[in-house]
Structure 1
Amino acid sequence: MTSPAPSPVKRRRPEWAGRNYTLLTTAAVITGVGSSSALIATSFAVLQQGGDGGDIGLVAAARTLPLVVFILIGGAVADRMPRHRVMVAANALNCVSQAAFAVLVLTGTAELWQMMVLTALCGTGQAFFNPAAEGMLMSSVTAEQAGRAFSFFRMSSQGAGIGGAALGGVMASAVNPGWVLALDAAGFAVAGGLRAFLDVSHIPAREPGGGLLTDLREGWQEFIGRPWLWSIVAQFSVVVAVVGAAESVYGPLVARDEFGGSGPWGTALATFGAGTLGGALLMSRWKPRRLLLAGTLGVFPLALPSAALAVPLPVAGLCAVMFVSGVAIEVFGVSWMTTMHQEIPEDKLSRVSAYDWFGSVAMLPLATAVAGPVEGLVGRGTALWGCAALVLITTALVLLVPDVRNMTRREHTVPVTAGGPGSEDLSRGLAADTLPAASSADAESALGRLG
């Protein structure tokens, strides 16, 4: 009598969700909750200590300035060292700085300069983390499954942001904002522990180069040789600056003066998160052929929240436009990540990502620092209308670049296990063996920095 054949074991996750991808996604969800909460708590911690809109802008600028200063070095380091070690070290720095910030706020002893120094340390950690994280994520999936994998990753992290924004708004109103900052510090500790288990053995060792400056030069040549890349980064240097000023400085002030406190603003940010969740779900099923054209059209609605705050619309109206802009930015975000994965060689991903980050956030410290003085000079409403207008103008201009309009998705069918040996070679090989966007009218591309 023969034994019955064992029934197949049912997989708990899709084939493309390998070990590294799963760890990265889980860690991103954890930090997404804490960081979204801390974004609101930081603004209201400054107000609690007697600060005003100008002080909120200075603290926000203190966080982003180190990001601008160190991001290129962070990208070069991430292409030289094991990326997971860079990510863990950055998470450790973020954990310590946020924990110290929480203690100062909870004890009521936080001064403006202390808050600026601690947020600057957090920004320094992000400068090294972001290029390493993007390179690690893009090397964890195959080209064939990139669109679906990136959609699910963003859907998961943005879903965490929904809960985090709502939690931050409620906690900042109900309890001391310092407890929200403590939650963020704990999230960095847990996420860093998960990222320590990432496997980088399948990533080919980088050959010794000519030094840090050589690495930066190679990354610059890769960046500047692609018109679609530098033109969209230039666009986002303005978009990120004005949207960041509106959301970090003007949003909390409008909430305080018009809506009665932090709760409604937290709800609005949570609704934006819900929109990004819906947008990521949409992009997990929709694969636009003209990636960058679809993505760039998704940037126009980012003007809506600034306009809604300028009126200002009732909370329900503000939430509606936040939802729409959330959906739209995910169309851009997934398209952008897919393009980067498709077009950039794996061994240069972190360096190119660093130039992307550098350009995108270069003007953010200035924008947040001057948001308060500009409000005093022209009025809050005029400043917000100006933010909306700049989003529309820069996005319309980038559509004049032929590569942005014409870059097309390439379908890859080579069977390679996601996140396993050979997947990075495949990604690099496909990028190296195909024509760059600048030399093909049929090429197309697709990360939303704001997502």
Structure 2
Amino acid sequence: MSTPSTAEAVPPRQRPILLTPAVLRLWTGTTASGLATWALPFLLGLAVVDGTLSATGLGIVLATRTVGFLVAVPISGVLADRYSRRGTVLWAGIAAGAATPVMFLGLGRSVALMAVAAVVVGAGQGACRPAFQALTAEIVAPERRQAVNAAMSLAVRLTTFIAPGLAVLLGLLMGVEAMLLGTALLWLCAGLLPPPGLSPTPTGPRPPTSLLTEFADGVREARRHPWFLAGLAALTAVITTGYSATSVALPIVSRDEYGTEVVLAAALAGYTAGGLLGAVLIARWRPSAQGWAALAALAGYGFAPLALLLPVHPVLVVAAYVLAGLGIELFNVPWFTATQREVEPTKLARVSSLDFLLSYGLAPIGLALIAPAIATFGATAVLLVCAAICFLAPAFAALAPGARRFSAPPPPNTPTASIHVATRR
């Protein structure tokens, strides 16, 4: 019997996924969009400090940007599935990049002009999100998507940590106007850098359908996956209550209970550190019951409102925020990966848009309601309810069919070979 050669016995070493040109371009484009998104509020804040923009004007501009985001998310999900994910990202980046200089023209002159431009910028931001999710599934092989999604999440966390301080520093050195133009260039990079994918959109004549009808098709696709609906409900509940409560209550508790803003700063830094750790960990961790592990990690967010509720040492408050950031990433990455794997490819952008529309779209409502709730019922009652929801919502979601692995169970009496063939297709 002949001995196989070394070349035959040792498989070729795979290039690190982030060093492949297509993934590197996708990651860079996603990071550029994140930097532009997170830098803008802080640049406008500097404009308030130097008197160029009023506090009321800042609120109007940021509110209209949110409106643009919420309107564009479902529409872009339909367009990305109907035409091209790459094309949707391109036009979203171009639109946001073109609208940002218009905000510069309105700065100190017309809040109305800035608000109109902010709607377009928000629409570009919203249009990118589901299209990027679907484009990742087109470009990256299934077995490597979790690592890429973890790298994307790592970029998001680094962006939220770096972008505010960098924007403020460069804004002070170069001026708000120059930095606004810089964010326009970031949006253009976000639109131009990502490579084209292998679009699963069927070719040939299509019957004329409305945007609403096609979005409804995406909702029906989401309903085919009970684990997705249950997980989305849990995520929305945690963000709407836990995230909103901790965002509003943390500055109050830091000031009133500990008498220093250091706890506020340390807790926020701890949340970011936890997110970074979670993204690094989940890049390689593959628990057998991945869905249950992700939902258990999401429930860890409940420790943040609980720590603000109890008279504990400040170190425990920071540790609770580390757990919250860790848990969000240990949930997000498997969640995105499972959605890319399980959802019908031609409807992936629409299902992703439903995800962002609910989980992120309802967050401003939670932020708006938490402060009046604390004023009416007291911080103790509100934080207790929010902590309970954070713990219970993922627990109930874990009971949904397919939640154990974020995957629909195979039909009964289905031969194993058939399952494998279907998976490879």
Q: Answer yes or no: same fold by TM over 0.5.
A: yes
Report the CA distance between 1:332 and its aligned residue: 0.7
Letter in 2 for 1:124: A
Cα distance between partner residues in 2 of 1:302 and 1:128: 28
Report the CA distance between 1:286 and its aligned residue: 1.1
Does 2:206 align with 1:206? no
Letter in 2 for 1:403: G
Q: 1:379 to 1:131 in 2, by over 3 A?
A: same
Aligned match of 2:334: 335
Letter in 1 for 2:422: D
Answer with 326-335 or 180-189: which moved more.
180-189
Gap regions ≥5 residues in structure 2: 1-11, 410-417
Aligned match of 1:90: 92
Cα distance between partner residues in 2 of 1:259 and 1:44: 27
Aligned match of 2:350: 351
Q: Kindly provide the CA deviation profile for residues 22-47 of structure 1, in whole angstroms up to 9, marking residues without a partner as x.
A: 11111223333443344556678779
Select the structure with the greater relative contact order (CA < 8 A; seq sep ≥ 6).
1
Q: Is the 8 A contact 2:64 2:116 kept in 1?
A: yes
Does 2:401 align with 1:402? yes
Report the CA distance between 1:129 and its aligned residue: 1.4
Q: 1:101 to 1:151 in 2, by over 3 A?
A: same
Q: Kindly provide the CA deviation profile for residues 421-443 of structure 1, in whole angstroms up to 9, marking residues without a partner as x.
A: xxxxxxxx9999259xxxxxxxx
Report the CA distance between 1:76 and its aligned residue: 0.8
Gap regions ≥5 residues in structure 1: 1-9, 411-428, 436-451
Q: Is the 8 A contact 1:57 1:248 kept in 2?
A: no
Q: 1:350 to 1:366 in 2, by over 3 A?
A: same
Cα distance between partner residues in 1 of 2:184 and 2:314: 30
Report the CA distance between 1:299 and its aligned residue: 0.7
Report the CA distance between 1:136 and its aligned residue: 0.4
Identity %: 25
Q: Is the 8 A contact 1:292 1:404 kept in 2?
A: yes
Aligned match of 1:273: 272
Cα distance between partner residues in 2 of 1:336 and 1:252: 31
Report the CA distance between 1:347 and its aligned residue: 1.8
Letter in 1 for 2:206: G
Q: Is the 8 A contact 1:251 1:265 kept in 2?
A: yes
Cα distance between partner residues in 2 of 1:175 and 1:187: 16
Answer with 134-143 or 177-186: which moved more.
177-186
Cα distance between partner residues in 1 of 2:101 and 2:246: 24
Letter in 1 for 2:79: V
Q: Is the 8 A contact 1:61 1:368 kept in 2?
A: no
Answer with 172-181 or 88-97: which moved more.
172-181
Does 2:17 align with 1:21? no
Does 2:283 align with 1:287? no
Aligned match of 2:38: 36
Cα distance between partner residues in 2 of 1:58 and 1:335: 36
Aligned match of 1:447: none
Q: Is the 8 A contact 1:91 1:191 kept in 2?
A: yes
Cα distance between partner residues in 2 of 1:182 and 1:312: 46
Letter in 1 for 2:271: F
Q: Is the 8 A contact 2:96 2:124 kept in 1?
A: yes
Cα distance between partner residues in 2 of 1:253 and 1:21: 42
Report the CA distance between 1:353 and its aligned residue: 1.1
Q: 1:137 to 1:431 in 2, by over 3 A?
A: farther
Aligned match of 1:425: none
Aligned match of 1:235: 234
Cα distance between partner residues in 1 of 2:45 and 2:180: 11
Letter in 2 for 1:404: A
Report the CA distance between 1:355 and its aligned residue: 2.0
Answer with 276-285 or 290-299: which moved more.
276-285
Counterparts of residues 140-159 of structure 1 (less than 5 Å): 140-159=139-158
Q: Is the 8 A contact 1:169 1:264 kept in 2?
A: no
Q: Kindly provide the CA deviation profile for residues 264-312 of structure 1, in whole angstroms up to 9, marking residues without a partner as x.
A: 7566444423222211211122111212111111111223334455669
SS at match of 2:196: coil
Q: Which has the larger radius of gyration?
A: 2
Cα distance between partner residues in 1 of 2:174 and 2:264: 16
Report the CA distance between 1:17 and its aligned residue: 5.1
Cα distance between partner residues in 1 of 2:271 and 2:402: 30
Cα distance between partner residues in 2 of 1:313 and 1:403: 38
Answer with 360-369 or 302-311: which moved more.
302-311
Across the aligned residues of Structure 1 and Structure 2, the Cα RMSD in angstroms comes to 4.2
Q: What TM-score results when the alignment is normalised by the length of structure 2?
A: 0.76
Q: Is the 8 A contact 2:288 2:405 kept in 1?
A: no
Report the CA distance between 1:64 and its aligned residue: 3.5
SS at match of 1:377: helix
Cα distance between partner residues in 1 of 2:47 and 2:251: 11
Q: 1:199 to 1:172 in 2, by over 3 A?
A: closer
SS at match of 2:288: coil
Aligned match of 1:448: none
Counterparts of residues 13-412 of structure 1 (less than 5 Å): 13-14=15-16, 18-38=20-40, 51=55, 62-101=64-103, 107=108, 118-167=117-166, 184-195=183-194, 198-200=195-197, 202-204=198-200, 206-207=202-203, 208-210=205-207, 211-212=209-210, 213-246=212-245, 268-308=267-307, 317-379=316-378, 382-405=381-404, 407=406
Answer with 227-236 or 306-315: which moved more.
306-315
SS at match of 2:143: coil
Report the CA distance between 1:402 and its aligned residue: 3.5
Letter in 2 for 1:199: P
Cα distance between partner residues in 1 of 2:378 and 2:77: 39
SS at match of 1:404: coil
Answer with 164-173 or 149-158: which moved more.
164-173
Count of residues in correspondence between the two structures? 399
Q: Kindly provide the CA deviation profile for residues 375-415 of structure 1, in whole angstroms up to 9, marking residues without a partner as x.
A: 443455654444333322322221232321354699xxxxx
Aligned match of 1:433: 422
Cα distance between partner residues in 2 of 1:131 and 1:91: 13
Report the CA distance between 1:75 and its aligned residue: 0.7
